[in-house]
């Protein structure tokens, strides 16, 4: 067992934390929206633009070869991070949304009217809308697995939705609004017993939980670099080669071809087939640096630190009269969703901001989930390993101050 994280030392890796917001020390509790970036990631991105800046996979000159080497090294880092069989199964996208859209368009193009896709009630809009558009294009049908009041997926109900027309189960691994950790192993086993592939939306999971695609046996897995301490604008679609090989290209143009003629164009092999156009090179290099950073800390130690914060935060919020926690699943990441009696979440957000505390207020791009709970919005404090118990204490004080103002 490795020693616990030295939080004060780790915080020094994030210079962004060392500043005032509205005249108060910044307390960042919006990591579910985007995680902060450690210096090593910022430097890797900056270094590429400062000294690299060349395009990849085409130049014969020094800078292009350097950029290509770093770009390919990042792909290998992602492969190892996910334990994919081969680097070619790692497709760089613009983010989780881009990855899910790729599957919805490419895998989805083979679906027939009446074919079904299963999602859940706790999905982010990015795992709802691409399927709704697919349904409009192809006449497929979207089935939605329900959750309970704690925000836990109802597995028997999910199982009942699976039938002979089911073609894909696309499920969020960790809910961005509730923090619920879904039983992805059981979901995959359930779907695979009927030969149905599974896509995991790991946007929230990736920074909190080790994901081994071979152990999981998952077919598609999507995540964004910026929720893993990396840059915005870049993400990953992992796909099993057997599936990716049979899927048609999604975006098309440069880089994704083998040869182009007006008579016939042939496509490149994986992963290039799905990476048309100049990629976000600096972003991919930054993602590689982010994975190095996470590996150095250790996902297990990160999870331990965050579990402690979650436990402390949950019990602190429980003491506040007039506060209701939203998302009380037994298995959770460090996301604290809540509402206050007679105070709209946007007012909570603005008033906490006055205390230098950054939280998210709104529907968290999960409007159907909010409807499920009969709420227009919630306030959400999402914690990462760089948060402290003292910051949670400050959150409690600020919430109580807000309540007094509205009393």
Partner 1 sequence: MSSQMELYQQVILEHNKRPRNFGKLEGGNRAAEGFNPLCGDHLRVYLEVTADGIIQQIAFEGSGCAICKASASMMTVALKGAKVEVAQAMFGEFQRLLKGELNPESAPNQLGKLKIFSGIWQYPARVKCAALAWHALSGALSNQPTVSTE
Residue of 135, 202, 316, 365 marked active site: 365
Choice between 251 and 370, CB closer to partner 1: 370
Report, in Å, the least distance between residue 20 CB and partner 1.
Answer: 12
Catalytic residue flag (residue 202):
no
Question: Measured at the alpha carbon of residue 123, what is the angle toward residues 110 and 141, in degrees to the nearest 5?
Answer: 35
Report, in Å, the least distance between residue 349 CB and partner 1.
Answer: 8
Phi, psi of 198 (to 5 degrees): -125, 135
Report, in Å, the least distance between residue 213 CB and partner 1.
Answer: 35
Choice between 239 and 362, CB closer to partner 1: 362
Report, in Å, the least distance between residue 175 CB and partner 1.
Answer: 18
Tell me the β-bridge partners of 93.
235
Choice between 123 and 152, CB closer to partner 1: 123
Written as six digits, the tokens of 35 are 């995680």
Rounded Cα distance between 108 and 117, Å, is 10
Choice between 161 and 370, CB closer to partner 1: 370
DSSP letter string over 219-281? SEEEEEGGGTTS-TT-EEEEE-HHHHHHSPPSS-STTSEEE--SS--EEPPTTGGG--S---H
Footprint of partner 1 (CB under 8 A): 22-23, 343-347, 350-351, 354, 361-363, 367, 370, 376-377, 405-406
Rounded Cα distance between 111 and 307, Å, is 41
CA distances (Å), origin 405, targets 269, 319, 347, 402:
61, 19, 11, 5
Report, in Å, the least distance between residue 97 CB and partner 1.
Answer: 17
Residue with tokens 């959770």: 332
Closest CA to 183 of 166, 200, 204: 200
Strand order in the sheet with 235-239: 90-93, 235-239, 220-224, 198-201, 166-172, 116-120, 141-145
Choice between 296 and 397, CB closer to partner 1: 397
Active site residues: 365
């Amino acid at each position: 067992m490795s020693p616990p994280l030295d939080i004060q030392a780790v915080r020094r890796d994030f210079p962004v934390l060392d500043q005032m917001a509205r005249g108060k020390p910044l307390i960042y509790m919006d990591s579910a929206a985007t995680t902060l970036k450690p210096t090593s990631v910022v430097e890797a991105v900056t270094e590429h633009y400062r000294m690299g800046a060349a395009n990849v996979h085409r130049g014969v000159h020094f800078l292009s070869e350097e950029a290509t080497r770093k770009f390919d090294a990042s792909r290998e880092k992602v492969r190892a991070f996910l334990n994919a069989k081969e680097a070619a199964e790692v497709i760089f996208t613009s983010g989780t949304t881009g990855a899910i859209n790729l599957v919805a368009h490419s895998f989805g193009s083979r679906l027939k009217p009446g074919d079904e896709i299963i999602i859940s009630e706790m999905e982010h809009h990015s795992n709802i809308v691409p399927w709704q558009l697919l349904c409009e294009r192809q006449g497929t049908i979207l089935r939605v697995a329900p959750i309970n009041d704690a925000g836990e997926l109802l597995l028997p109900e999910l199982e009942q939705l699976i039938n002979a027309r089911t073609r894909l189960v696309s499920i969020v691994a960790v809910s961005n609004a509730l923090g619920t950790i879904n039983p992805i192993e059981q979901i995959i086993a359930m779907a695979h017993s009927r030969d149905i592939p599974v896509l995991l939306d790991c946007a929230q999971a990736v920074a909190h939980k080790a994901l081994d695609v071979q152990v999981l046996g998952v077919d598609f897995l999507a995540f964004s670099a910026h929720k893993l301490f990396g840059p915005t604008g870049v993400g990953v679609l992992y796909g099993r080669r057997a599936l990716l090989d049979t899927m048609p290209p999604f975006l098309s143009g440069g880089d994704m071809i083998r040869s182009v003629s007006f008579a016939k164009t042939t496509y490149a092999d994986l992963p290039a087939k799905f990476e048309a156009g100049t990629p976000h090179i600096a972003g991919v290099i930054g993602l590689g640096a982010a994975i190095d950073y996470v590996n150095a800390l250790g996902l297990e130690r990160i999870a331990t630190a965050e579990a402690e914060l979650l436990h402390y935060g949950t019990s602190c919020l429980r003491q506040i009269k007039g506060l209701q926690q939203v998302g009380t699943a037994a298995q959770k990441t460090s996301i604290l969703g809540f509402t206050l009696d007679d105070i709209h979440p946007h007012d909570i957000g603005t008033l906490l901001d006055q205390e230098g505390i950054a939280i998210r207020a709104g529907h968290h791009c999960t409007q159907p989930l909010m409807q499920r709970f009969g709420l227009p919005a919630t306030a959400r404090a999402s914690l990462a390993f760089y948060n402290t118990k003292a910051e949670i204490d400050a959150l409690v004080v600020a919430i109580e101050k807000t309540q007094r103002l509205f009393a």
